[in-house]
Amino acid sequence: MWTILVTAVLLATPAQAPAAPVAPSAPAAPAAVPVLVRNSDLPPSEAQAKEALEASPRHGEYVDVKLPNGKSVRAWVVYPERKDKAGVVILIHEIYGLSPWLRGVADQLARDGFIAVAPDLITGLGPGGGGTESVASRDEVVQLVRGLTPEEATLRLNAVRDFALKIPAANGKTATVGFCWGGARSFAFAASQPALNAAVVYYGTSPEAADLAKIKAPVLGLYGADDARVTATIPPAEAEMKKLGKTFEPHLYEKAGHGFLRAQDDRDGANLKATQQAWPRMLAFLREHLK
């Protein structure tokens, strides 16, 4: 009886249709490149600069700073929101000129309480007498910046400093903060301008020993450890400054590379970590010497 029942059940079960052919799967889309979430306590990376500038509540404006020869230098000025007068920080651009990224750094410095002045040191040298904004490619900007003599750079920086000291909201104290090419210029300007109150060098080379003897301002140096071209110039400068009784405080950030403040998303987090450590250190240094 059980045999007959099982047979009946099997006969009553419909035969299964053959499985439909499986279509080949589409190739997986490439993984999206992760974008850093902006930390408002830090300057933007290059990729974040445009958005940061558009979202800023602070007042920024272009001004023309007169030079002794009658020409002018264009500068981006950003003001902090505070009741009392503020120290002035002159930002010296990388070899890439007055870029949106540098203007973003200026805006961040204003957020942190300083009047930020970022001159375009190649003003008048571009097509039609323009500056960085007039040049078609970054390579051409690099050529123009490299062609600027140390003497001309110093002349322009002195004019910018004179302008900044006359800003009604300024407290009479000035510092320079430079990056890459501008870092070297920041260190050099401290040697040529004895009234400067402080200088910050982001991954810029150090001056020769003879120039170091002229420096009166304290100097803070911030470097990526994986930047041998630049870091090789630190020990001789550090030894000479110590011998002369002058203040030079260099800091190297492990595994970070050249340009770490701009390229925060590079080098597997090392550049971001360097930024997180270097920026507050710089702010403390500036607040001490510009108060």
CATH of the domain at 133: 3.40.50.1820
> Which candidate, 216, 217, 70, places its Cα nearest to that of 155?
70
48 within a domain of the structure (yes/no): no
> Helix, strand, or coil here: 73?
strand
Query: Is 107 a member of any domain?
Result: yes
38 located within any domain: no
The phi, psi pair for 170, rounded to 5°, reads -85, 150
Residue 117 lies in a domain: yes
Answer yes or no: is 26 within a domain: no
Q: pTM for this structure? A: 0.87
Considering the domain boundaries, does residue 153 fall inside one? yes
**DSSP letter for each residue of 35-55:** -PPP-TTS---GGGHHHHHHH
Amino acid at the residue 179? F
Q: What is the domain extent for residue 202?
A: 60-290
Over its length of 291 residues, how does the chain's per-residue pLDDT go in tens digits?
333 333 333 334 444 444 444 444 444 544 444 556 778 899 999 999 999 999 999 989 999 999 999 999 999 999 999 999 999 999 999 999 999 999 999 999 999 999 999 999 999 999 999 999 999 999 999 999 999 999 999 999 999 999 999 999 999 999 999 999 999 999 999 999 999 999 999 999 999 999 999 999 999 999 999 999 999 999 999 999 999 999 999 999 999 999 999 999 999 999 999 999 999 999 999 999 999
Please give the Cα distance from 249 to 271 (Å, whole number). Answer: 20
The H-or-E segment that residue 236 falls in is helix 234-244
Within a domain: 51: no
Take residue 101 and report the two structure tokens written for it.
Answer: 């990224």
| Chain mean position to CA 35 | 17
Residue given tokens 């950003």 in the structure block:
78
Give the total number of structural domains in the chain.
Answer: 1
> How far is Cα 233 from Cα 168, in angstroms, rounded to an integer?
39
State whether residue 183 is helix, strand or coil: helix
Whether 9 is covered by a domain: the verdict is no
**Which residue in 54, 45, 109, 49 sits closest to 78, CA to CA?**
109
Alpha-carbon distance values, 241 to 148, 212, 236 (Å) = 27, 7, 9
